[in-house]
């Protein structure tokens, strides 16, 4: 009988613990990637349905001799808004990737944040109407501040979108205020609220927890992005809520940013 060449398999040294840890970490990364891709596939597919419906409506209207130019224009404008909203969803995904890679640069500029808030409220008007809720903006006539314009816009947009989604058709109130040092954004709804156990979880990535413990559609990154942006801009976010009593998200930002970010700085906006 001929002995096999090389050491017997039973005599082979055990894999180093560090290698086993690396393998486990890689498996976890792959699982996280697969979960993320599944969410992306679901969330980017669903918005195509209303876009397609609006395009088909536009096509039908343009083929009817009795259709007015105003009706065609309104349908085209609605289709454009849906496409722009879809682009923003894709942009959010890119922002998440850039934040993880540390490639998101803040560009503070002097602008009127009330104007930014009005733009956000107007752009989300159709979504609010579809959800059966009304948005009220409470703000001074103007509120100049030196902030990253896109960052401020995305903070407000994510907070208002979140209120529309989870407010269960209740009114949404957007409030802006300031003092000598800070600008404050507050977005409140009268929906089911958030239980104390879930208040920290809602700011984690891929969390979509309601007061009841159920989940709703979405990437689950909206509030995570808000927190990342607020902290990078030198500010903070907090929430006041009780299950069954609505929710109010409050973001406080330095009124005059100096272009630097906190420990979670994002560099190099693409």
Helix (H, G, I), strand (E, B) or coil at 112: strand
Structure tokens at 21: 């840890």
Asked whether the CA dihedral 256, 161, 238, 167 is positive or negative, the reply is positive
pLDDT at 250: 94
Q: How sure is the predictor about 20, in pLDDT bands with cuts at 50, 70 and 90?
A: confident
**Answer CATH for 21-101 from 3.30.450, 1.10.3470, 1.10.287, 1.10.10:** 1.10.287
Q: Is the whole model's pTM more than 0.85, yes or no?
A: no
pLDDT at 114: 97
The better pLDDT of the pair 174, 22 is held by 174
Structure tokens at 128: 């609010």
Whether 224 and 211 have beta carbons less than 8 Å apart is answered as: no
The boundaries of every CATH 1.10.287 domain in the chain are 21-101
Q: Dump the DSSP string for 187-239.
A: EEE-SS---GGGTTGGGSTT--B-TTS-B-SS-S-HHHHHHHHHHHTT-EEEE
The boundaries of every CATH 3.30.565.10 domain in the chain are 108-254
Q: What is the pLDDT of residues 122-155, one digit of tens each?
A: 888 888 888 899 999 999 999 999 998 888 988 9
Q: What is the pLDDT of residues 76-123, one digit of tens each?
A: 888 887 888 778 767 766 666 666 666 667 789 999 999 999 989 988
pLDDT at 240: 87
User: Which H or E run contains 163?
Assistant: helix 149-166
**Answer CATH for 108-254 from 3.40.50.300, 3.30.565.10, 3.40.50.10380, 3.20.20.110:** 3.30.565.10
The better pLDDT of the pair 1, 162 is held by 162
Crossing angle, helix 222-232 and helix 149-166, to 10 degrees?
150
């Amino acid at each position: 009988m001929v002995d096999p060449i090389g050491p017997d398999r039973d005599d082979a040294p055990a894999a180093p613990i560090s290698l086993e840890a690396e393998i486990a970490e890689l498996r976890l990364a792959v699982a996280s990637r697969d979960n993320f891709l599944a969410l992306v596939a679901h969330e980017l597919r669903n918005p195509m349905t209303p876009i397609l419906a609006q395009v088909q409506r536009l096509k039908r209207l343009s083929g009817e001799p009795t259709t007015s130019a105003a009706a065609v224009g309104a349908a085209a404008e609605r289709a454009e808004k849906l496409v722009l909203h879809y682009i923003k969803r894709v942009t959010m995904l890119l922002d998440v990737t850039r934040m993880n890679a540390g490639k998101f640069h803040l560009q503070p500029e002097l602008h009127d944040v009330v104007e930014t808030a009005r733009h956000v409220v107007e752009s989300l008007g159709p979504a609010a109407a579809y959800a059966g809720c009304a948005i009220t903006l409470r703000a001074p006539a103007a509120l100049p501040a030196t902030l990253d314009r896109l960052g401020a816009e995305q903070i407000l947009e994510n907070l208002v979108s979140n209120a529309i989604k989870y407010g269960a058709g209740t009114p949404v109130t957007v409030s802006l205020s300031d003092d000598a040092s800070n600008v404050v954004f507050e977005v409140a709804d009268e929906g089911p609220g958030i239980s104390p156990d879930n208040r920290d979880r809602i700011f984690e990535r891929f969390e979509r927890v309601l007061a009841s413990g159920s989940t709703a559609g979405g990437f689950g990154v909206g509030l995570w992005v808000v927190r990342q942006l607020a902290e990078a801009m030198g500010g903070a976010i907090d929430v006041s809520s009780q299950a069954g009593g609505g929710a109010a998200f409050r973001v406080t930002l330095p009124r005059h940013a100096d272009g630097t970010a906190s420990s979670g700085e994002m560099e190099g906006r693409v």
